[in-house]
Amino acid sequence: MKNILRTVSEQFGSLLDSGANKLDDWFIKDVHKIAITGLSRSGKSMLFTSLMTTLKYRSEENYNCLPLLKSLPIEFVEGMKLDAIESYELFPIKDHIQSLENQRWPKPTEQLYGFRLTIRLKETGSIKKYLLPHKEIVFEFLDYPGEWITDMPMLNKTFSQWSDSAWAQQMTEPQSYYAQEWHHFTRAFNFDLVPDDDSIACVVNEYRHYLKKSKAGGISLLQPGSFLISGSGFDWEHHGFAPLPTKVTSDLSNPWNKVFSNNYQLFLNQWLKPLKENSFKESDKQIILIDLFEGLNHSKLHLQQLKETLSNLSETFVYGNPSWFSKTVLRNTAIGKVAFVATKSDLIPESQKPQLLSLLQDITEGARAKFEEKDIEFDHFLVSAIQATDSGLSKNSLRYTNLQDEYIEVEFEDIPTSLKSMNRDENFPVLPVKVPKDFLPRILNGRGMDRLFQYLLE
């Protein structure tokens, strides 16, 4: 077993290191810039890992995974190559496969990675039959920490606007529950004192503590999420800020207001603007990954808060770079495509998938409303990057290996089809699934990726 597994990551090694020259003579290119976005822990890195693995096996081993991917008929795929995108570090596929080999999930992403996937097609006249007049199909992908995307809407706000809205959010459920200590701290703190390095660090650390606590509690709206990621290029220890009680932000002469407004501007100018320009740009196709299980696991209020976050973010999702979007997509009358994808669908039985899809459609309602009048097409999908569970004895049950290495069977209740149909105190525990030993066939057996990519390639 060990040997077979070792070969998997070694094969990725050879795929990454070779082939650069062989492909240089291709001249017709069809470049798809696909942005896969999603909040923290939504399944981005796992989806990339699975996609690379699946396409690799599909093209090199002639293993017909993704049977529904009609635009890339397996008999015409000659080979594929992975390489870095200029100025981005290469996606650490080898590290991720190694983690899976050790039965651990890939680590959370702490910096920006890119990769270009080039699929070479055999020259054959009949390719045209399959609507593919190109010899080479190029996909460019970026992977980054989900926390960064939640910060983008801050670009349109002043410090006091951001601070007031963040403060209001912390006062409502479910955030208020996690904000108790932070609110206690701000009530006791004297904001009339002139701030110095130590007192600023103290306030910022208290606020960071709140962000961490809410993250662990399944809250998705965490601003600034960049303060939680060590790979973020902003020195929050020296130039941090935090939302302040409204009585402070409404007093323009308050020294804390001044210092935090300055630091907030530094954050936007030195970190967030360049990040947006370098990373969230030039894609006409968007895959928005959504993890519904974290919300289901906690409460209806958590799901409501996820719905609101997605709605607030939808403009960032769709027009990473608005000027490019209007220039390219609208002028060319090309249609922007958005796929809303509920990830980890292997965590429920087949029988519950229609319910999950319906819940997904409910959760994206606000986000969709923002671009309904634009020339943007969208659809909803369920995907699993890996089929980590097995079907159980009844149609509503599943079997899986838990973190204690026990292989057990669980029975499911019906998943709510909308927020309205969910009780306030209801929750649906998420299965704590360990990465199975036979992760490779289970990746090749992931569900929904072919339909998703077919939709984007059409």
Q: Rule CB under 6 A: which residues touch ligand GTP?
A: 38, 40-46, 105-106, 108-109, 145-146, 343-344, 346-347, 384-386, 388, 433
- Residue 146 vs 243, nearer CB to ligand GTP: 146
433 binds, among Mg ion, ligand GTP, none (CB under 5 to 8 A by kind): ligand GTP
43 binds, among ligand GTP, Mg ion, none (CB under 5 to 8 A by kind): ligand GTP
415 binds, among ligand GTP, Mg ion, none (CB under 5 to 8 A by kind): none
The piece of 17-25, 36-44, 121-129, 179-187 that touches Mg ion (CB under 5 A) is 36-44
Place of tokens 């709140």: 210
Residue 45 touching Mg ion (CB under 5 A): yes
- Residue 101 vs 147, nearer CB to Mg ion: 147
Give me the 204-233 binding string for Mg ion, x by CB under 5 A, dash otherwise. ------------------------------
What span, in angstroms and rounded, lies between the C-alpha atoms of 339 and 333?
Answer: 19
C-alpha distances out from residue 166 to 222, 245, 311, 378, Å: 9, 10, 16, 30
The DSSP annotation for 362-419 comes to HHTHHHHHHHTTSSEEEEEEE-BSS---EE-SSTTEEEEEBTTS-EEEEE-PPPPSSS
What span, in angstroms and rounded, lies between the C-alpha atoms of 458 and 334?
Answer: 12
Tell me the closest approach of the beta carbon of residue 22 to ligand GTP, in angstroms: 31
The piece of 39-47, 168-176, 334-342, 367-375 that touches Mg ion (CB under 5 A) is 39-47
Q: Which amino acid is at 57?
A: Y
The three-class DSSP label of residue 239 is: helix
> Which candidate, 456, 436, 453, 344, places its Cα nearest to that of 100?
436
- Residue 45 vs 170, nearer CB to Mg ion: 45
Strands 136-143 and 113-121: antiparallel
243 binds, among ligand GTP, Mg ion, none (CB under 5 to 8 A by kind): none
CB neighbour list of residue 161: distance below 8 Å, 6 or more residues apart: none
- Residue 284 vs 346, nearer CB to ligand GTP: 346
439 close to 386: Cβ distance less than 8 angstroms: yes
The three-class DSSP label of residue 119 is: strand
Binders of Mg ion among 101-140, rule CB under 5 A?
Answer: 109
- Residue 45 vs 345, nearer CB to Mg ion: 45
- Residue 108 vs 441, nearer CB to ligand GTP: 108
Tell me the closest approach of the beta carbon of residue 429 to ligand GTP, in angstroms: 14
20 close to 305: Cβ distance less than 8 angstroms: no
- Residue 13 vs 231, nearer CB to ligand GTP: 231
Tell me the closest approach of the beta carbon of residue 43 to ligand GTP, in angstroms: 4
169 close to 179: Cβ distance less than 8 angstroms: no
Neighbour tally for 111: CB within 10 Å: 16
224 binds, among ligand GTP, Mg ion, none (CB under 5 to 8 A by kind): none
Tell me the closest approach of the beta carbon of residue 114 to ligand GTP, in angstroms: 14
Tell me the closest approach of the beta carbon of residue 177 to ligand GTP, in angstroms: 22
163 binds, among ligand GTP, Mg ion, none (CB under 5 to 8 A by kind): none
136 close to 29: Cβ distance less than 8 angstroms: yes
41 binds, among ligand GTP, Mg ion, none (CB under 5 to 8 A by kind): ligand GTP
Beta bridge partners of 140: 33, 116
What span, in angstroms and rounded, lies between the C-alpha atoms of 356 and 359?
Answer: 5
CB neighbour list of residue 256: distance below 8 Å, 6 or more residues apart: 191, 195, 203, 244, 248
144 close to 37: Cβ distance less than 8 angstroms: no
Read off the tokens for 324: 């490019």
- Residue 221 vs 388, nearer CB to ligand GTP: 388
Tell me the closest approach of the beta carbon of residue 131 to ligand GTP, in angstroms: 29
Read off the tokens for 305: 């808060």
- Residue 106 vs 336, nearer CB to ligand GTP: 106
Tell me the closest approach of the beta carbon of residue 132 to ligand GTP, in angstroms: 28
Tell me the closest approach of the beta carbon of residue 42 to ligand GTP, in angstroms: 4
Which parts of this chain interact with Mg ion (CB under 5 A)?
44-45, 109
